[in-house]
Structure 1
């Protein structure tokens, strides 16, 4: 069984028509009512919501904004996207400080000059090691990990970069690597894939000076994952497999990363798509997992049966095979100590599969479980937006209260994924 594909903008953000429909459904308004209020036909609104007709009148756009209680009418204007720039770049976003730090350099100090009205000034953070460990713990365990790290991570990254730069690389390599890896994962999570790749690439430069195989392998995994999320699956696969080829056997931590790289290469191969290679690489990763046993984590990268199951769910969901998603889910459910983001993603994928079966109760239940695991993750997960949109369209009275709560989590202002 398959689910219909849903269009979205090049940036990954729901298109204007989808945003109008989601907002209309949140208020329980029929298409006819909204169309009458803006002086257009019901068929016109249907074409707008489906993306087959663009809004081309400022007067109509402002009327729609008033009817749908959208504070800024510019949210109903499609903007061209250049160079794959993510919707996460919107001004005023929670992560502006992190973006600014990524675009700055300790030798220039643009961010500090703007903030302090002066040139170079050292950035210091007492207890950087403890602060870094705390941020990593938040990323693994907090239901509000994005908003918490938005406050902590920019200054932590600045401190790590300053230490490494001022010592000409003699000090602080490991904290900087960990800070870059965490930054990469956060930026990928919010959809800022260009900056996420930049963070991964900078980490790879630092890692290239290390003679410790897990350091290089973990950085290669981060860069491969960034390429995959940047919609470069071929490059992501090639990079992961090249890293695997460099790994010598005999160390368990290296084998964990070998398996993680094999699994990432499998996911990338499926996205190309190359189903035969994807299955071969999945088998290789499964073999590595069997040899290792249980679940392992090296330098923040998890590998084991749960990750293999999640990868199978991702691959099946990408090809709209909802039966395969639910089949893999039945054999996978993450343990309570699994990182919150992975648990949330598991339930979000299951929700999308139930929605593909038109099982509204199952989809709503899984979305609620995802919110329980990591509620902020729903705001940045496009599958969560699409599933919620479908549930709102069905307007099941038994689910209305739960769906209202979930709609608030993903952005009740009508701008999901900002």
Structure 2
């Protein structure tokens, strides 16, 4: 390798500190930022990176991996004999068929597109299945290929401008459903194709709700890509809010809900940055919007509702690393009121993160067990949950180690 070449963190014999420095730099984080997020100082990070300090304990390595959103633990440790997917799950068996449908570029049509009402009913059933099925990826993965092809046909065969706009809104919604499936799959390029196509279809539809949903998902994709993408997340998020807010006086419940969901997302990104006041201010604004919705209302895509605001409060507190506050918010939130199984599981994972921050690992593991019961396919792809389970599988307390190991087997992290 030449003197000017950038080292590859995946090539031996780089030591842990070198890998840490390369991965941290690629995420655009300073030593002080990383240190603060893992409860250490910038000088401690420098010491590890330069080899002055020894490789940290497993629990610290897992925390670093979480903060840096390391996809595979071996990317950080260099140990290729034990590969553990954290924020990237194994490829779903239906990923290939979904990818083929997304990548297709149909210029000719040999069949008639289904009626708009038929397509709308299928989408409604798909969303309902996603929220009710514990194996939600399997369910929507089976539905997506035909939905993608039929929605594309509906746009191509539209005879009037209004029909085309309606078809584009439906296509954008199909891409939104696809993004839930593609997230955390080992194909980042596919995720971005789906997100961008959904955003373009929504913009061309001129439908405020479709635009809001596509922006909501694109914001999440940017934020999950790491700190260097936070500005892009805010750009999409805040621009869409500026477009939607003037419409709110006469807005439908769905448009009000997607505006509330986007408002919370702005707070979520602020919490990732450690901006406490800004994060809670956006949460307060989102709660005010939720209070304007009917008691039983539940947004079919984002889960935004009155019931979800307690779960959102837990997320904000956890992202701000406020252990005590996250536990207090978890006690106030009632997960049973969340109708969506995957969203309920996600809330349980956030609660578990809060209990872990608060020094209650046994409660965290019990909460992760509830998450697994609600939606196994949600926790299987969640890096935060995996980090807690792997850390506690090394516990010195036999009962805790056994419980964590049993859960690790269920998640595919350890062999049975």
Q: Is the 8 A contact 1:289 1:304 kept in 2?
A: yes
Choose from 111, 134, 137 the match for 2:128: 137
Structure 2 counterpart of 1:106: 106
Structure 1 residues 217-366: aligned runs within 5 Å: 217-231=212-226, 232-247=229-244, 248-250=247-249, 251-253=251-253, 254-292=255-293, 294=295, 296-298=297-299, 300-366=301-367
Structure 1 counterpart of 2:177: 182
TM-aligned CA deviation for residue 384 of structure 1:
0.9
Unpaired stretches in structure 2, ≥5 consecutive residues = 1-37, 40-58
Where 1:180 maps in the other structure, the secondary structure is helix
Q: 1:194 and 1:241 mapped to 2: Cα distance?
A: 25
Structure 2 counterpart of 1:370: 371
Choose from 132, 144, 155 the match for 1:153: 144
Deviations 1:71-122 (A, max 9, x none): xxxx59x9xxxxxxx845x6675422222322332239xxxxxxxxxxx876
Quickly say closer, same or farther: Cα 1:405–1:214, change in 2 above 3 A.
Answer: same
Cα RMSD (Å): 3.4
Q: Is the 8 A contact 1:139 1:145 kept in 2?
A: yes
Where 1:393 maps in the other structure, the secondary structure is coil
Quickly say closer, same or farther: Cα 1:99–1:329, change in 2 above 3 A.
Answer: same
Where 1:311 maps in the other structure, the secondary structure is helix
Structure 1 counterpart of 2:70: 12
**Which shifted more, 143-152 or 298-307?**
298-307
Q: Is the 8 A contact 2:315 2:350 kept in 1?
A: yes
Q: Is the 8 A contact 2:134 2:341 kept in 1?
A: yes
**Which shifted more, 358-367 or 285-294?**
285-294
Unpaired stretches in structure 1, ≥5 consecutive residues = 18-49, 56-60, 66-74, 79-85, 109-119
Quickly say closer, same or farther: Cα 1:107–1:188, change in 2 above 3 A.
Answer: same
Where 1:164 maps in the other structure, the secondary structure is helix
Choose from 201, 204, 210 the match for 1:209: 204
TM-aligned CA deviation for residue 373 of structure 1:
0.8
TM-aligned CA deviation for residue 279 of structure 1:
2.7
Q: 1:125 and 1:408 mapped to 2: Cα distance?
A: 44
Q: Is the 8 A contact 1:244 1:262 kept in 2?
A: yes
Q: 1:91 and 1:142 mapped to 2: Cα distance?
A: 19
Where 2:248 maps in the other structure, the secondary structure is coil
Where 2:152 maps in the other structure, the secondary structure is helix
Quickly say closer, same or farther: Cα 1:268–1:360, change in 2 above 3 A.
Answer: closer
Deviations 1:7-40 (A, max 9, x none): 32866323128xxxxxxxxxxxxxxxxxxxxxxx
Deviations 1:295-346 (A, max 9, x none): 6334523323443332332233223322222121111122345211111011
TM-aligned CA deviation for residue 177 of structure 1:
2.3
Q: 1:283 and 1:376 mapped to 2: Cα distance?
A: 31
TM-aligned CA deviation for residue 145 of structure 1:
0.8
Q: Is the 8 A contact 2:394 2:401 kept in 1?
A: no
Number of aligned pairs?
Answer: 344
Q: 1:213 and 1:360 mapped to 2: Cα distance?
A: 43
Where 1:301 maps in the other structure, the secondary structure is coil
Where 1:208 maps in the other structure, the secondary structure is helix
Compute the TM-score of the two structures, normalised by the length of structure 1. 0.71
